[in-house]
C-alpha cells in the first residue's frame, strides 16, 4: 500500500517515470500497476530500468525477454515514449555512462537519457487557476481596509488588471495588486505563492477559486473520477467521506462504483466495491460545489484525495474524469481503463 501511496504522490507532478525492475523477477504485478497509475497521471515518458543485471550474468537474453514483456504493457496502455535500459546500480553500470560490462547494449545510459528528454518547463500553457488558502485581513491602524487572498498559483499567469471571477459564487471583479514576498509585482505565474488583492470587497472564503472571466472551470456537486483505493477497508457505494481538493475540504459520498481495472489485462470490469490497491471509476456527490477541471485538461486542478471523516487518514487519490451533467445520464460503456 505504501508503495502505491508514495508512487501516486511523486508521480502527480512528474514528466517522466523510471519503472525499476529486478532482472531476476522481470515484469510483475507491481510493475503493471505502477505503469498504469503513471499513465493515468498523464506521464508521457517512461524508462524501464532493468536493474541487477550483474546477478543474471549480464545476459542479453534475460534483458530482451523483460523488454518484450514491458513493451506489451506499453502497447496495451498506448504509452507514447518508452525506452528500456539494462543496468547495475551496485556497480554503476549504465547509470552515468555506458558500461563495458554490457557490450551488447548500444543505447544511452540512464543519466544520458534523462538529460535528453524534453520536459514541461512550467504550467503556463494551462488556463490560469488560483485557489484561496488564506484570507488576510489584519484590520490594523496601518492597514484598516487591507484584504488579501493568499495561495499558490496552480497554473497559468495572473496580471494586475485582469478581470476575474470568484467561484463558486460567480462574482466578478479585477485584480488590483499582486504581492510576492511582501513586494508588489505586475504579474505572477505558477507555481508561485502570492497574495491577490481585488478591486471590490466581496465575500471570499478559503477554498474558493479566482479565475479569469474568459475561462470556465467546472463548478459541480457531482463528478466522476478514477480512484486508487489505499485503505484496507473496502469501498462500497454510499460511503461518506471528505474530498480534499487543495485547500477546499468538503463532505461527500460515493454514489456509485462504476468500473474496476483488471491489472492483468487492463480491461474495465463491473464491480460493487473497491479493495486495497484497486483502481476504480466512481461517481461522487459533494455537499457543496467544487471548482475543478478534468484531469486531462489540468493536472493541478483535476486531482484530489479522499479522507476519512473520523481518522483524517488518506483513503484514495482521485483524478476527475467527467464533470458534464449530460454525461452522467448516458449508459457507461466498458472502455480501456487507461482512456481518461
185 confidence band (pLDDT: 50, 70, 90): very high
- The rounded percent of the chain whose pLDDT value lies above 70 is 91
pLDDT at 325 over 60: no
Q: Which domains does the chain have, with CATH numbers?
A: 2-116 (3.40.50.300), 129-212 (2.40.30.10), 218-328 (2.40.30.10)
**Band of the pLDDT at 122, cuts 50, 70, 90?**
very low
**Lowest-pLDDT range of 64-68, 99-103, 335-339:** 335-339
Mean pLDDT, the chain, integer: 90
Q: Is the pLDDT of residue 248 over 90?
A: yes
Residue 329 confidence (pLDDT) above 60:
no
Please say if the pLDDT value at position 80 is more than 50: yes
Is 70 exceeded by the pLDDT of residue 4? Answer: no
The pLDDT value given to residue 340:
25
In this model, does residue 221 exceed pLDDT 50?
A: yes
Q: Please determine, for residue 74, whether its predicted confidence score (pLDDT) is greater than 70.
A: yes
SS (H, E, C) the chain: CHHHHHHHHHHCCCCEEEEEEECCCCCCHHHHHHHHHHHHCCCCEEEEEEECHHHHCCCHHHHHHHHHHHHHHHHHHCCCEEEEEECECCCCECCCCCCCCCCCCCCCCHHHHHHHCCCCCCCCCCCCEEECCEEECCCCCCCCCCCEEEEEEEECEEECCCEEEEECCCEEEEEEEEEECCEEECEEECCCEEEEEECCCCCCCCCCEEEECCCCCEEEEEEEEEEEECCCCCEECCCEEEEEECCEEEEEEEEEEEEEECCCCCCEECCCEECCCCEEEEEEEEEEEEEECCCCCCCCCCEEEEECCCCCCEEEEEEEEECCHHHHCCCCCCCCCCCC
What pLDDT does residue 140 have?
A: 78
Q: What is the pTM of this model?
A: 0.84
Which pLDDT belongs to residue 142? 80
**Residue 2: pLDDT band by 50, 70, 90 thresholds?**
low
Q: What is the pLDDT of residue 165?
A: 98
- Residue pLDDT, tens place only, 84-121: 999 999 999 999 999 999 999 999 999 999 999 987 65
State the pLDDT at residue 141. 78
pLDDT digit string (tens) for 135-175? 999 877 787 889 999 999 999 999 999 999 999 999 999 99
**Sorting pLDDT into bands at 50, 70 and 90, what band is 215?**
very high
pLDDT at 335: 38
Answer yes or no: is pLDDT of 328 > 80.
no
Amino acid at each position: 500500500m505504501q508503495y502505491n501511496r508514495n508512487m501516486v504522490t511523486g508521480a502527480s507532478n512528474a514528466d517522466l517515470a523510471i519503472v525499476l525492475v529486478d532482472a531476476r523477477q522481470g515484469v510483475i504485478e507491481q510493475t503493471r500497476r505502477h505503469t498504469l497509475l503513471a499513465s493515468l497521471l498523464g506521464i508521457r515518458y517512461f524508462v524501464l530500468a532493468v536493474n541487477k543485471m550483474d546477478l543474471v550474468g549480464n545476459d542479453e537474453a534475460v534483458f530482451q525477454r523483460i523488454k518484450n514483456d514491458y513493451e506489451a504493457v506499453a502497447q496495451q496502455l498506448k504509452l507514447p515514449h518508452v525506452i528500456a535500459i539494462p543496468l547495475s546500480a551496485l556497480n554503476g553500470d549504465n547509470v552515468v555512462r555506458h558500461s563495458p560490462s554490457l557490450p551488447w547494449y548500444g543505447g544511452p545510459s540512464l543519466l544520458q537519457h534523462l538529460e535528453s528528454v524534453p520536459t514541461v518547463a512550467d504550467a503556463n500553457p494551462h488556463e490560469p487557476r488560483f485557489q484561496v488558502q488564506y484570507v488576510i485581513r489584519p484590520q490594523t491602524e496601518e492597514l484598516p481596509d487591507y484584504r488579501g487572498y493568499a495561495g499558490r498559483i496552480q497554473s497559468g499567469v495572473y496580471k494586475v488588471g485582469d478581470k476575474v471571477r470568484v467561484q463558486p459564487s460567480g462574482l466578478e471583479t479585477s485584480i488590483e495588486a499582486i504581492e510576492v514576498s511582501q513586494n508588489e509585482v505586475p504579474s505572477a505565474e505558477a507555481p508561485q505563492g502570492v497574495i491577490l488583492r481585488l478591486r471590490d470587497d466581496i465575500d471570499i472564503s478559503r477554498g474558493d477559486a479566482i479565475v479569469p472571466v474568459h475561462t470556465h472551470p467546472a463548478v459541480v456537486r457531482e463528478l466522476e473520477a478514477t480512484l486508487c483505493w489505499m485503505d484496507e477497508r473496502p469501498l462500497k457505494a454510499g460511503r461518506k467521506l471528505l474530498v480534499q481538493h487543495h485547500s477546499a475540504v468538503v463532505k461527500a459520498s460515493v454514489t456509485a462504483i462504476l468500473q474496476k481495472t483488471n491489472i492483468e489485462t487492463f480491461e474495465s470490469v463491473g464491480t460493487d466495491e473497491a479493495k486495497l490497491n484497486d483502481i476504480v471509476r466512481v461517481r461522487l456527490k459533494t455537499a457543496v460545489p467544487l471548482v475543478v477541471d478534468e484531469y486531462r485538461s489540468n493536472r493541478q486542478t483535476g486531482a484530489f484525495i479522499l479522507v476519512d471523516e473520523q481518522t483524517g487518514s488518506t483513503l484514495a487519490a482521485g483524478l476527475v474524469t467527467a464533470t458534464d451533467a449530460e454525461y452522467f445520464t448516458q449508459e457507461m460503456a466498458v472502455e480501456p481503463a487507461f482512456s481518461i
